[in-house]
Amino acid sequence: MGCMPIFFSECIVSSSEVLKQLLKPVVDSLGCELWGIELQMGGNTKLLRIFIDRDEDGVDITDCEKVSRQASAILDVEDVISGEYTLEVSSPGMDRPLYELDHYARYLGEQISLRLRFPYEGRRNFKGQLRSIEGDEIVVVVADNEFLFPVEGIEKANLVPQF
C-alpha cells in the first residue's frame, strides 16, 4: 500500500515503525538504547533523526558516530527511504522528546510541554507536571487542573529542563 499525500501523517508513522524495527537491534548491539526516530519529509528534502541514549554516562560523539555508520549501512541495503536523505544521530538532550508510554513513566513528577494532534478546549499546547499514567493515557497538571491525554493524541511532547 503506497502513501497518498492526503495520508501523509499515517505514512510517516508507518515509516517510523518500520525504521524502528530495523534500527533497534543495531543500536542495541552497540550498547545504546534507541530512544526515538523522527522522519521529516518536505519538498525535496528528507531528514531522518535517530535519538540514542545510554544509562551509564550518557551518549558521546563516539556512540553517535558508531550508530550513524551502522544505521547508514543498514538503511542503504534495506532501501527503506527512497532517494537522498540526511541522517542525524544524537542524544535526546535535556529537553528530550517523549515518544512512548515507557518514556512518560520514567519522568513522572517532571515538567513537560506537549502539543496535541487536535485541539482540546480550544488549545493544542499544554505545559505542566506529568502526574501519572492511567492505561494508555497520561495525567498532566496544568495550573492546578488535571488533564487526561491519550498518548496517541499527542503530536509532540518534551521534558522541560529545570535549572
- CATH fold for the domain made of 101-159: SH3 type barrels. (2.30.30)
pLDDT at 14: 52
The domain spans of the chain are 5-90, 101-159
pLDDT at 10: 39
**Inter-residue contact 94 to 72 (CB < 8 Å):** no
Q: Is it true that 5-90 and 101-159 share their CATH fold?
A: no
Note if the pTM is more than 0.85: no
The predicted-structure confidence for 18-60, as pLDDT tens digits, reads as follows 899 999 999 999 999 999 999 888 878 889 999 999 987 889 9
Residue 43 CB coordination number (10 Å): 5
Contacts of 52 (CB under 8 A, 6+ apart): 27, 32, 33, 34, 35, 59, 63, 64, 67, 89, 90, 91
β-pairing, 137-142 with 145-150? antiparallel
pLDDT at 18: 87
Options 3.30.300.70, 3.90.550.10, 2.60.40.420, 1.10.600.10; CATH for 5-90 is 3.30.300.70
d(CA 93, CA 95): 5
Residues of the chain with pLDDT under 50: 1-13
